[in-house]
Chain A
Amino acid sequence: MSDLQKGFQQFDCSILEQALREESPELIAALEQHATNCESCRTELNIWREISAAALAMHKEWESPALWPQIENSLQTEMARPRGWRTWFADLNLVPKMRWQVALATLVFVAASGMGAWFLMHRNVSTPTNDAHLLTDQAVQQVEQAQKTYEQSIDKLAKLAEPKLNAASTPLLKNYREKLDLLDSAISECRTNLEKNQANAYLRSELLSFYQEKQQTLEQVLREE
């Protein structure tokens, strides 16, 4: 005889609650057995069963011949209605589970766009030097700061797109992956050149355009189903 079975034989009133809560067949069988000799548990069990029996009678059935025609009409009206912008927007969510990721991607997109705009506005800062292509130390510092934040935002976007790219099964996603690889090597080359000549505004704008291209590609990847 198992310990569990022994336990059931020694059922005492204190586990009545557990038996009624869990409603496991073993516990209920033990409770029934115990109730034959215990009046309070028998009463409790009977009340419990009376409630269940009375509940069955709460099921209601009635004829409603007009209901289906009404539903059919409203469904047909709904199907004939052109889809509003809300529906199209809702379609972008695609999978409900992805909603937070889409929200995060949007946030990153807004931050990246802001940084990009700031970067663009400051890239043509006129310098006191005669050479328009060269930046001052202070301007370089500002641009590098903005660039760093922009890079971080794009890195976040890249992390979000990474699982999709790793599992790329469609030709389109594979193309995106190749394009991103090319962009990464172009960015890396551009950054190496910039390290040699940090004040070169032309190289900075090149780098920015690569980042912008990467940002757009990542967004396209995230939108891809």
Chain B
Amino acid sequence: MPRLDDPAAESLRVEARAEDARLSAGCRAGSIEAYEELYRAQSTRMKSIAMNLLGNAHDAEDVVQETFLKIHRGIRYFKGQSAFSTWTYRILVNCCYDMRRKKTRRMETAEQDLVAEDQTFDSPAPMHDHPLRMALEKCVQQLTPYLRSVFLLYEVEGFKHAEIGLMLGISEMASKNALYQAKRKLRELLSQQAGSGQMAASQS
């Protein structure tokens, strides 16, 4: 980790801030090129977050599109309280929450659709697989939206607690705390799964 007084790290930070300011100014001015640049820089991570929060690639892409529209509508209110990219992820996470709420309402009214949707769960292949991944993905879906968001943003997407705090409107300490709670819950769920797997194996 670069030290705070490291001149190289400091110059990188200054560069990143300038880039951030340039991109936000471009978007504020309504430049499609600036939005495209933002898309090229952030869409991979945006899609991954949305995919993990929503469970399917189609919804994830819809949410990313909605996020760009909301960035355009809200850019005049962005006053640089956080990095521009952090602000865009905050919008993304809120869009995901909205989409989940809408889906939950739809599912409540049509439970049959829920079953059909579960069966057609389409998940793109991960970049690097891990023997625990599938079990973990199932367990992550059982976390509360808040714990799930913190876990995904920190462990999967590599954001810092300070950034997560800004995205979710919580303190850095609350983010650390939520991550700990999420991992403890996941540990519990994974050991339950392992236990039931062993039981099923012994029964067969």
Chain A interfacial positions (CB closer than 8 Å to B): 17, 20-23, 47-48, 50-62, 64, 67-68, 70-72, 74-76, 78-79, 91, 95-96
- Option from B128, B177, B186 in Cβ contact (under 8 Å) with A51: B186
Tell me the complex Cα distance, A82–B26, Å: 20
Tell me whether B73 and A51 are in contact (CB under 8 A): no
A-facing residues in B63-99 (Cβ within 8 Å): 64-65, 68-69, 72-73, 76-77, 79
A21 to chain B, nearest CB (A): 4
Report the Cα distance A67→B73, complex, angstroms: 19
Q: Are B151 and A61 in contact, with the CB atoms below 8 A? A: no
| Contact assessment for A53 and B130 in the assembled complex, using a CB-CB cutoff below 8 Å | yes
> Are B136 and A55 interface neighbours, CB within 8 A?
yes
Q: Would you call the interface of chain B mostly helix, strand, loop, or mixed?
A: helix
Nearest-CB distance from A66 to chain B (Å)? 8
Supposing A21-B180, A51-B186, A56-B156 touch, asked if A75 and B32 sit within 8 A by C-beta, the answer is: yes
Determine the distance from Cα of A128 to Cα of B61 in the docked complex, in whole angstroms. Answer: 78
A50 vs B44: C-alpha distance in the bound complex, in angstroms?
24
- A62 touches which one: B47, B77, B152 (CB < 8 A)? B47
Q: Would you give the shortest CB distance from A150 to chain B, in whole angstroms?
A: 35
The answer to whether B39 and A71 touch across the interface, beta carbons within 8 angstroms, is: yes
Q: Are B136 and A51 in contact (CB under 8 A)?
A: yes
Q: Which B110-131 residues have a C-beta within 8 angstroms of A?
A: 123-131
Residue in A closest to B30 when the chains form the complex, CB atoms: A79
> B140: which of A58, A61, A91 is its contact (CB, 8 Å)?
A58
Residues in A neighbouring B137, C-beta threshold 8 A:
58
Q: Does B36 contact A (CB under 8 A)?
A: yes
Q: Are B68 and A95 in contact (CB under 8 A)?
A: no
Question: How far, in whole Å, are A155 and B39 apart by their CA atoms in the complex?
Answer: 50
Bound Cα distance from A62 to B204, whole angstroms: 38
A55 to B151 CA separation, bound complex (whole angstroms) = 9
Tell me which residues from 154 to 181 in chain B have a Cβ below 8 Å from any Cβ of chain A.
155-157, 176-177, 180
